[in-house]
């Protein structure tokens, strides 16, 4: 029974994390984004999906507030740099198309 969830059913994440061979063999794959569950203002557990598609939990050391901030700050920097590269590539492509039409 799920009770006292404060808006979230924590046990659902735990059951998703549990390894079940029958689920692993199925054709569907569940990709869980980085999910940190806090209790009383402190991070209790951090679930994530690795590159192989496995749902894992971060170790205790990773759940320190400074490590959480660093992780998400670095992730945002990577995302921003990928977006900038795509815009630059798009801009270069547009410039090439413009110059191809100028005779």
Q: What is the average pLDDT across 2-16?
A: 66
The whole-angstrom distance between residue 91's C-alpha and the CA centroid of its chain comes to 28
Three-state DSSP at 73 gives helix
What is the reported pTM?
A: 0.58
What pLDDT score does 101 carry?
Answer: 60
Mean pLDDT of the chain: 76
What pLDDT score does 1 carry?
Answer: 45
Q: What is the pLDDT of residues 20-59, one digit of tens each?
A: 555 555 655 778 888 888 888 888 889 988 888 888 889 8
Please list, in sequence order, all residues whose beta carbon lies within 8 angstroms of the beta carbon of residue 17, skipping any fewer than 6 positions away: 47, 55, 56, 57
Total number of residues shown for the chain: 103
Q: What is the average pLDDT across 72-97?
A: 78
Q: How far apart are CA 61 and CA 71, in angstroms?
A: 12
Domain ranges of the chain: 1-60, 64-103
| R_g of the chain computed on alpha carbons | 21
């Amino acid at each position: 029974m799920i009770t006292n969830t404060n808006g979230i059913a924590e046990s659902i994440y735990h059951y998703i994390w549990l390894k079940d061979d029958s689920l692993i063999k199925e054709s569907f794959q569940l990709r869980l984004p980085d999910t940190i569950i806090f209790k009383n203002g402190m991070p209790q557990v951090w679930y994530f999906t690795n590159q192989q598609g496995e749902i894992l939990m971060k170790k205790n050391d990773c759940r320190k507030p400074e490590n959480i901030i660093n992780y998400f700050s670095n992730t945002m920097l990577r995302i921003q740099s990928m977006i900038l590269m795509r815009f630059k590539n798009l801009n270069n492509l547009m410039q090439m198309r413009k110059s191809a039409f100028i005779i």
